[in-house]
Amino acid sequence: MKDPRQALAAGRSDNVLFSMPHLPISASAGRFAAEFATALAEHGLTMVAHLTGFPCRSLVDVCASVDASAVVGLESFAPETTAALRRAGVATVLSLGDDASGPDQVVARLQADHLLSRGHCRIGFAPPAQRVPQHMPLARLRGVEDACAAAGLEPPSALTVEPVAADAARAVAEWRDRSVSAVAAYNDETALAVLAGLRTLGLTAPDDMAVIGVDDIPTAALAAPPLTTIAFDFSNAAYRLAQAVTATLRGEQPQEAKISYRPHVVERESA
């Protein structure tokens, strides 16, 4: 097979800058970055990771430093950022956040719809205690709100759950006072804290409260009980995104305008 680099425009490097939100990096983002780096390598390209959100250097400056021919982001770029990257000579600017449906809301809607399909009429939402970009948990909350509204139910009861059993137990007790029977957690780590809170109170999932997470981390299947969660097809998304990068660098039109992680429910005992 012909080396893809031979088809790149003259003078272009084989470096692809992958822009990720600043720390903490989620399990999902880390797994996708690894899959994307592997997929790019198969096309003769090299991924360089960059954490955004720090004031010291702009994305354009970093691109110049690593001589990036393409920039790919987990989140959508502001129009002025895209324009600046183009002026700096970046040939390709792509984002997985360009889907107007809102990926975080889609994930939360999957969580809520699964709980509602199991007969739960009062849903709780557990945003993470750790620092994350604020728009992400807010988008997840909107997704759960939309599902509840579509079912003619009350809005979800949102309570932050700390990764400490005693603190999680207090949140569980408050949800119980509010007649919440199922909780959609922002991620699996938060869902595991909810399960710990239930155990602290002598309660069980799903009998006393159903729990669903997001990310399908390795320990999700080992939880007590095993955790129902949302998983993603990172291998497929990374492969297709690498194809899109290579095509645009060649001056071709990508075969797919939108690339999805394909979120789906992994049903286990907790919900």
Backbone angles phi, psi at 70, to 5 degrees: -140, 150
- Distance of alpha carbon 10 from alpha carbon 243, whole angstroms: 19
**pLDDT level of residue 207 (50, 70, 90 thresholds):** very high
* CATH fold label, 4-98+233-261: Rossmann fold (3.40.50)
Half-sphere exposure for 110 (CA within 13 Å, toward CB)? 21
The whole-number average pLDDT for the span 154-179 is 96
81-129 pLDDT per residue, tens: 889 888 888 888 887 764 444 578 899 999 999 999 999 999 999 998 8
pTM tops 0.85, yes or no: no
For residue 24, whether the previous peptide bond is cis, meaning omega lies within 30 degrees of 0, is yes
For the chain, where do the domains classified as CATH 3.40.50.2300 start and end? 4-98+233-261, 103-227
Q: Hey, what CATH class is 103-227 in?
A: alpha beta
- Report which of 190, 270, 196, 267 is spatially closest to residue 230, judged by C-alpha positions: 267
Amino acid 116: pLDDT: 97
Given a contact cutoff of 8 angstroms between Cβ atoms, the answer to whether 121 and 181 are in contact is yes
Q: Is the pLDDT of residue 9 over 50?
A: no
Cα–Cα distance, 145 to 80 (Å, whole number): 32
Amino acid at 259: I
CA 30, CA 149: separation in Å to the nearest integer? 33
* Mean pLDDT within 149-156: 96
